[in-house]
Amino acid sequence: MRINPRQLQQSLSKGLMPIYVVTGDEPLIVQECCDSIRAAARNGGFSERELLHAEHSFDWGQLLSSAGSMSLFAEKKIIELRLPGGKPGDKGSKALQEFAALAGNDLLLLLVLPRLDRSQLNSKWIKALEQNGVLIQVWPVEAAEMPRWIHQRLRAAGLDAEPEAIQILADRVEGNLLAASQEIEKLKLLGSDKLITADLMRDAVASSARYDVFNLIDRALAGDAEGAVKTLQGLRAEGVEAPVVLWALAREIRSLLEIGEKLDRGQPIARLVRIPKRQPLVQSALARLTPARLESLLLRARAVDTAIKGGRDQDPWIGLLELALNLSGKRSI
């Protein structure tokens, strides 16, 4: 069964499935889907949780071993498997198909991975998981949908706002759902039970206007390493969360890979980058960053994500600094 995030709560209310696959590139919605599944699992008696990260050197035997080992103090177990590359390979595909037959009332699998393409969605391992579970596809919120999405989030937070105020926030975050959610949390802290006006919204979001995360991206693309580092330091000083910065950097790296591939096929830059002023920035970055280098940066971004989640003994901001420097064309020490 395939559903979208809006249908998840209704699905969970009907009972837990043995397998949940959450796929998409919107970190906020992916995280919220996972939180809902974990909460439902805890309420369903799944008191033990094991987290596995399937990186390149991952031993897929661990997955089946984890399925067979239950704690003496837990009757039900949830295994959360993160597959940042999105492709399990032959060994992983076989292990996931075997696991699909093991999951049941006492064993639940939560598989988290980036957006899957059509061939991956039609693969044997996805089909096997779908037969016994639910696949939640997280799609990006388009620019035209952002005001409606923000209004819904405001109402859910017990707030309301003028249409102009909503549009100001939509323009400010430029599609970054994590940043929008963070701004809404700031509005809640104002403690106002009145309608949020355009003036109030401008004042509320002005505090982070000096160091914009998208300004960081543009400076890095332009090869302005010093400017990128200053912007990154400013973002940290203003309290911008590390996941927001990582989201922007990782999204840009993936975008460069995709654009570079299409340029090699002969597609024009004007079709691939709609905003004219960004076209020379993208071309400048692609001139100095090879596909192999961009793939390496994605691996670094995944390591930073692991550090943010506490799975790696490293300051995430050091990893973000390295990413910003590398994207600017500078090699970190």
Is the same domain home to 322 and 217? yes
CATH code, 199: 1.10.8.60
Give the list of residues 6+ apart from residue 91 with CB closer than 8 angstroms, or none: 60
- ∠ Cα 112 117 123 (to 5°): 80
Per-residue confidence (pLDDT) for residue 151, from 0 to 100: 94
Per-residue confidence (pLDDT) for residue 333, from 0 to 100: 57
Structural domain count, the chain: 3
Q: Encode pLDDT of 54-77 as tens digits.
A: 887 888 988 888 877 765 555 788
Residue 332 lies in a domain: no
Contact 161, 201 (CB under 8 A): yes
Token pair for residue 120? 């991956």
Q: Encode pLDDT of 95-109 as tens digits.
A: 999 888 887 778 899
> Diameter of the chain by CA atoms?
61
Range of the domain at 178: 143-208
Q: Encode pLDDT of 243-293 as tens digits.
A: 989 999 998 999 999 999 999 988 888 888 877 778 899 999 999 999 999
pTM as predicted? 0.61
Residue 326 has pLDDT above 50, yes or no: yes
Residue 333 lies in a domain: no
Residues in the chain: 333
**Given 138, 161, 177, which residue is the final one in a domain?**
138
Is the same domain home to 118 and 61? yes
Residue 131 lies in a domain: yes
How much is the average pLDDT of 141-156?
89
**Given 208, 235, 256, which residue is the final one in a domain?**
208
Per-residue confidence (pLDDT) for residue 73, from 0 to 100: 56
Type of residue numbered 27: P
Is the same domain home to 261 and 190? no
Report d(CA 295, CA 313) in Å as an integer.
23
What mean pLDDT, rounded, does the chain reach?
87
Is the same domain home to 223 and 163? no
Residue 271 lies in a domain: yes
Backbone φ and ψ of 196, nearest 5°: -80, 120
- Give me the helices (H) in 81-207, please: 89-102, 118-121, 124-131, 146-156, 163-173, 177-189, 198-205
Per-residue confidence (pLDDT) for residue 109, from 0 to 100: 92
155 against 312, higher pLDDT: 155
Give the list of residues 6+ apart from residue 113 with CB closer than 8 angstroms, or none: 21, 22, 23, 82, 83, 84, 85, 86
Per-residue confidence (pLDDT) for residue 207, from 0 to 100: 46
**Given 80, 113, 138, which residue is the final one in a domain?**
138
Is the same domain home to 132 and 10? yes
Query: Which of 77, 114, 84 minimizes the C-alpha distance to 99?
Result: 77
Residue 144 has pLDDT above 50, yes or no: yes
Report d(CA 307, CA 34) in Å as an integer.
18
Report d(CA 317, CA 197) in Å as an integer.
35
Is the same domain home to 322 and 241? yes
Is the same domain home to 132 and 149? no
CATH code, 280: 1.20.272.10
Residue 125 has pLDDT above 80, yes or no: yes
Report the share of the chain in percent with pLDDT over 90.
44
Report d(CA 151, CA 159) in Å as an integer.
9
Per-residue confidence (pLDDT) for residue 74, from 0 to 100: 59
- Highest mean pLDDT: which range of 163-177, 210-224, 237-251: 237-251
How much is the average pLDDT of 128-152?
90
Report d(CA 103, CA 24) in Å as an integer.
23
How much is the average pLDDT of 203-214?
64
Per-residue confidence (pLDDT) for residue 208, from 0 to 100: 44
Is the same domain home to 40 and 17? yes
Report d(CA 123, CA 78) in Å as an integer.
24
Residue 89 lies in a domain: yes
